[in-house]
């Protein structure tokens, strides 16, 4: 199934310039990788030194994946403070260096440059405000903020006093917010008057009020003054954060935390079901995110690094805030969206701030590709030297567009596979070491031991396709599901004994490169042939008129399952029936007759999570004719998309 044309694009060799410039070349990768898995205590004992420890660790790794006793500990007798590692320790050298560039939603509003000294000052003041409100180490604080610097201040302020933050994406409804507040029992919410996205205001404070009423748990709401819009106010409960911070002391000694003390809780994005409260801890998490940020993105002093994720997702935690700030980097925070005021916005921001490293998601790449090249060509993008992708398999066609049109063949693409649960990137190219193959996340990062198993749990050796598992622990992996350790071991360690199960399907090729084929739950089984969704979708996206596609299985009398595809066309293309036939023939030709879609439905929009991932679970229900029972849809970005799809469903009986 893997022989079709879209996977036959030529590999991209590492250029000589990159080999010289990057931290890691291929020989170094191979040697260090070997050490990292054969002698993890030495490897990680050394890497742990990238942080400042209060009490140095003497034990490095202590973990087991055994079911049901799985337990993960790293650097367990060491103590440190995460916020001190992201701020205080940079002050000697970098006090006046920009830590955060803030680019607002509206291009007319001036950007802000926050230095490490200002960051430190704000974090300490906010930490003192939290203390004054009675927040103590171990308490949970919910953060419900737009993409503004205060989000980073709030995270680091919690870390400073040992409180555990739980960030809820600002696009979530009061109900979703209330559910997450309830789950972790947090008495404090930090929010802002409003948020601003794509020119529209988001009523964050009003939503927080509604959530507080619903949960009955919330004692204090700290409010960032952001847009200045009118908001409801409850005396005694609500506090303006700017006023409280102005009065607070800028001196707040960091709390001494154990490496294994929780740093944050984060709920997964909910592509497959109800979100889980993933718990990440202090020491191992920061060692790993700092190391991957440096090597995967090849971050050097002077780079301007931009990750377009929201801090409400793990990518924002690890690669906007913690990894970059631990490294003393300059990290850009963008309040807006890719297509406002128009589809040039990302590239205009790149030019405005001389961004050299750019990290985004396939959903954005496909949407911008669909809008056409003119929006790109009007910008320079000369400052760019590295591009990254995360969140879903990147279709080879979208990869090629990113590489040729955005990066002008100058910028390697790091396709980083990882999960909320993994804390940091696990499978990825290293730009100075790895030959790139469009659509493949390529090879494991240091210390990561991926493997493929069949449905019985037998190991697949050599090239093949199966379920992706990881054989041993790495420092930034989740430690538990908040308040439900049994759910943790059952979800990740029960399917294949002694292994961490990722839930993803994967193919390994003859070069030992890994290709994520989609979620295991989404695999389509046509007459006994198991097909990853990514394969069919990538074939469709390779057609010049298609910008995005989603494939799901539906019950079929003869084949067991048939293939049902939802297709979004490029801007300006018409939804005509002859095109459906053309697309069916196209897939047949690209992959083979077995993969030819039974039904194609044109879809101007696909149901996505708020982080932009296609929710095939819902598309499957629609194709199966079961739309009375769509399951948990609380994480859907735009529920109206669903009713439109139901109306236009193809295989009505
Ligand atoms: P839930 O676990 O609640 O169903 P989710 O899996 O979407 O939601 P995340 O942790 O945000 O939550 O996403 C991780 C998943 O995203 C991975 O398991 C994988 O399916 C997909 N993914 C992330 N990066 C890549 C990538 N580079 N290539 C392919 N797939 C990726
Ligand atoms: Mg998941």
pLDDT at position 57 over 70: yes
Residues placed in the known binding site for ATP: 391-393, 415-420, 504, 519, 530
- What's the pLDDT band for 535 if we cut at 50, 70, 90? very high
Residues placed in the known binding site for CoA: 197-200, 315, 339, 527, 588
Contacts of 302 (CB under 8 A, 6+ apart): none
Distance of alpha carbon 62 from alpha carbon 45, whole angstroms: 12
189 Cα–ligand 2 center, Å: 26
Measuring from atom 19 of ligand 1, which residue has the nearest CA? Answer: 392
The string of pLDDT tens digits covering residues 419-446 is: 999 999 999 999 999 999 999 999 999 9
E strand residue ranges, 216-356: 220-224, 238-240, 257-258, 262-267, 277-281, 304-307, 330-334
Residues placed in the known binding site: 197-200, 315, 339, 391-393, 415-420, 504, 519, 527, 530, 541, 543, 546, 588
Measuring from atom 18 of ligand 1, which residue has the nearest CA? Answer: 419
- Identify the bridge partners of residue 366 per DSSP, sorted by sequence position: none
Using an 8 Å Cβ cutoff, are 295 and 327 in contact?
no
Distance of alpha carbon 488 from alpha carbon 466, whole angstroms: 22
Kindly list the strands in the beta sheet with 514-519, ordered across the sheet, starting from the edge strand earlier in the chain. 459-460, 450-453, 464-470, 500-508, 514-519
DSSP string, 457-489: -PEEPSSEEEEEEE-S--TTS--EETT-HHHHH
The string of pLDDT tens digits covering residues 551-582 is: 999 999 999 999 999 999 999 999 999 999 99
The string of pLDDT tens digits covering residues 26-35 is: 999 999 999 9
516 Cα–ligand 1 center, Å: 10
* Residue range 507-517: mean pLDDT, rounded: 97
Ligand nearest to the CA of 611: 1
Distance of alpha carbon 616 from alpha carbon 608, whole angstroms: 9
Give the per-residue pLDDT at 286. 99
The string of pLDDT tens digits covering residues 181-240 is: 999 999 999 999 999 999 999 999 999 999 999 998 899 999 999 999 999 999 999 999
Output the CA angle 227-126-74, nearest 5 degrees.
120
- What's the pLDDT band for 3 if we cut at 50, 70, 90? very low
Q: What b/e readout covers 588-627, taking b as 16+ CB neighbours within 10 angstroms? A: eebbeeebbbbbbbbbeebbbbbbbbbbbbbbbbbbeeee
512 Cα–ligand 2 center, Å: 24
Give the per-residue pLDDT at 431. 97
- Dihedral Cα 320, 324, 330, 332, nearest 10 deg: -10
Distance of alpha carbon 595 from alpha carbon 379, whole angstroms: 39
Q: Half-sphere exposure (CA, 13 Å, Cβ side) for 467?
A: 20
Contacts of 250 (CB under 8 A, 6+ apart): 121, 124, 125
Give the per-residue pLDDT at 652. 59
ipTM, interface predicted TM-score of the complex:
0.99
Give, as one character, the DSSP assignment of residue 385. Answer: -
402 Cα–ligand 1 center, Å: 20
Helix H segments across 8-143? 16-21, 26-38, 40-47, 82-86, 91-94, 116-132
Give the per-residue pLDDT at 90. 98
Give the per-residue pLDDT at 374. 97
Distance of alpha carbon 405 from alpha carbon 382, whole angstroms: 12
Nearest-atom index, ligand 1, CA of 534: 29
Give the per-residue pLDDT at 214. 95
pLDDT at position 621 over 80: yes
Q: Do strands 200-202 and 195-197 pair parallel, antiparallel, or not at all (unpaired)?
A: antiparallel
371 Cα–ligand 2 center, Å: 29
- What's the pLDDT band for 2 if we cut at 50, 70, 90? very low
Ligand nearest to the CA of 517: 1
Q: What is the pTM of this model?
A: 0.96
pLDDT at position 1 over 50: no
Positive or negative, the Cα torsion across 472, 476, 478, 482?
positive
The string of pLDDT tens digits covering residues 314-323 is: 999 999 999 9
Nearest-atom index, ligand 1, CA of 315: 11
Give the per-residue pLDDT at 639. 84
Give the per-residue pLDDT at 275. 82
Measuring from atom 13 of ligand 1, which residue has the nearest CA? Answer: 419
The string of pLDDT tens digits covering residues 386-412 is: 999 999 999 999 999 999 999 999 999
Nearest-atom index, ligand 1, CA of 420: 10
Distance of alpha carbon 532 from alpha carbon 595, whole angstroms: 10
Nearest-atom index, ligand 1, CA of 519: 20
Q: Token pair of 340, please?
A: 């406002």
Q: Which of 269, 387, 500, 520 for a ligand 1 pocket mutation test, highest count of atoms within 8 Å of Cβ?
A: 269
Q: Which of 278, 280, 314, 391 for a ligand 1 pocket mutation test, highest count of atoms within 8 Å of Cβ?
A: 391
Kindly state the percentage of the chain with pLDDT values over 90: 92
Residues with CB under 6 A from ligand 1: 268-273, 275, 389-393, 415-420, 441, 502-504, 516, 519, 611, 613
Q: Token pair of 347, please?
A: 């590239």
420 Cα–ligand 1 center, Å: 8
Measuring from atom 6 of ligand 1, which residue has the nearest CA? Answer: 271
Mean pLDDT of the chain: 95
Give the per-residue pLDDT at 7. 57
User: What structural domains does the chain harbor?
Assistant: 16-507 (3.40.50.12780), 527-648 (3.30.300.30)
Distance of alpha carbon 436 from alpha carbon 511, whole angstroms: 11
Of the chain, the end-to-end C-alpha distance in Å amounts to 31
Nearest-atom index, ligand 1, CA of 502: 18
Tokens 């409003």 belong to which residue? 194
Q: Token pair of 643, please?
A: 């009713």
Using an 8 Å Cβ cutoff, are 176 and 168 in contact?
yes
- What's the pLDDT band for 5 if we cut at 50, 70, 90? low
The string of pLDDT tens digits covering residues 60-75 is: 999 999 999 999 999 9
Give the per-residue pLDDT at 627. 80
Q: Do strands 188-192 and 330-334 pair parallel, antiparallel, or not at all (unpaired)?
A: unpaired
Give the per-residue pLDDT at 6. 57
């Amino acid at each position: 199934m893997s022989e079709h044309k879209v996977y036959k694009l030529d590999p991209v060799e590492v250029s000589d310039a990159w080999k010289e410039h990057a931290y890691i070349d291929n020989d170094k990768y191979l040697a260090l990788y070997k050490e990292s898995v054969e002698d993890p205590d030495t490897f990680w004992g050394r890497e742990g030194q990238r942080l400042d420890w209060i009490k140095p660790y003497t034990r490095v790794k202590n973990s087991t994946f055994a079911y049901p006793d799985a337990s993960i500990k790293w650097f367990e007798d060491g103590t440190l403070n995460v916020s001190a590692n992201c701020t205080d320790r940079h002050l000697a050298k970098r006090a006046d260096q920009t830590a955060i560039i803030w680019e607002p939603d509206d291009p007319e509003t001036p950007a802000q440059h926050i230095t490490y000294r200002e960051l430190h000052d704000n974090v300490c003041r906010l930490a003192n405000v939290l203390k004054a409100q009675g927040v103590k180490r171990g308490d949970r604080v919910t953060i419900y903020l737009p993409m503004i610097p205060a989000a980073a201040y709030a995270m680091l302020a919690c870390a400073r006093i040992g409180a555990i933050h739980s960030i809820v994406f600002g696009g979530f409804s009061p109900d979703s917010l209330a559910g997450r507040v309830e789950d972790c029992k947090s008495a404090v919410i930090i929010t802002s008057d409003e948020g601003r996205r794509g020119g529209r205001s988001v009523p964050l404070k009003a939503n927080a009020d509604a959530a507080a009423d619903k949960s009955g748990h919330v004692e204090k709401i700290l409010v960032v003054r952001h847009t200045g819009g009118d908001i409801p106010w409850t005396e005694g409960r609500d506090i303006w954060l700017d006023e409280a911070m102005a009065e607070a002391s800028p001196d707040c000694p960091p709390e001494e935390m154990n490496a294994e003390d929780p740093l944050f809780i984060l709920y997964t994005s909910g592509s497959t079901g109800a979100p889980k409260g993933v718990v990440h801890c202090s020491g191992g998490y920061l060692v790993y995110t700092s190391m991957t940020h440096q090597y995967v993105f090849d971050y050097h002093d002077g780079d301007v690094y931009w990750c377009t994720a929201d801090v409400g997702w793990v990518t924002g935690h690890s690669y906007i805030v913690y990894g970059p700030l631990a490294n003393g980097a300059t990290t850009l925070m963008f309040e807006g969206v890719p297509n406002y005021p128009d589809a040039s916005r990302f590239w205009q921001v790149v030019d405005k701030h001389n961004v050299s490293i750019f990290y985004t998601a396939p959903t954005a790449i496909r949407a911008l590709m669909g809008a056409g090249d003119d929006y790109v060509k009007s910008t320079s993008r000369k400052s760019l030297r590295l591009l990254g992708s995360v969140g879903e398999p990147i279709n080879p066609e979208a990869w090629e567009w990113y590489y040729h049109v955005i990066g002008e063949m100058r910028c390697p693409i790091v396709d980083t596979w990882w999960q909320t649960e993994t804390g940091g990137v696990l499978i990825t190219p290293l730009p100075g070491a790895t030959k790139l193959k469009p659509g493949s996340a390529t090879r494991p990062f240091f210390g990561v031991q991926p493997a493929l198993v069949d449905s019985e749990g037998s190991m697949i050796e050599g090239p093949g396709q199966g379920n992706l598992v990881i054989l041993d622990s790495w420092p930034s992996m989740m430690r538990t599901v908040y308040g439900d350790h049994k759910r943790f071991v059952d979800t990740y360690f029960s399917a294949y004994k002694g292994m961490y199960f990722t839930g993803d399907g994967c193919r390994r090729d003859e070069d030992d490169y890994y290709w994520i084929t989609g979620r295991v739950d989404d695999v389509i089984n046509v007459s006994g042939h198991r097909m990853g969704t990514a394969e069919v979708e990538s074939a469709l996206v390779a057609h010049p008129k298609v910008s995005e596609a989603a494939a799901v299985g539906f019950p079929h009398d003869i084949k067991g399952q048939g293939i049902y595809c939802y297709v979004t066309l490029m801007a300006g293309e018409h939804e005509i029936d002859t095109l459906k036939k053309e697309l069916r023939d196209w897939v047949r030709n690209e992959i083979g007759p077995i993969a030819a879609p039974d039904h194609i439905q044109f879809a101007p929009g696909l149901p996505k999570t708020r982080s932009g991932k296609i929710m095939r679970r819902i598309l499957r229900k629609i194709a199966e004719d079961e739309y009375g029972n769509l399951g948990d849809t609380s994480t859907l970005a735009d529920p109206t998309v669903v009713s439109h799809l139901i109306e236009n469903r193809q295989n009505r009986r």
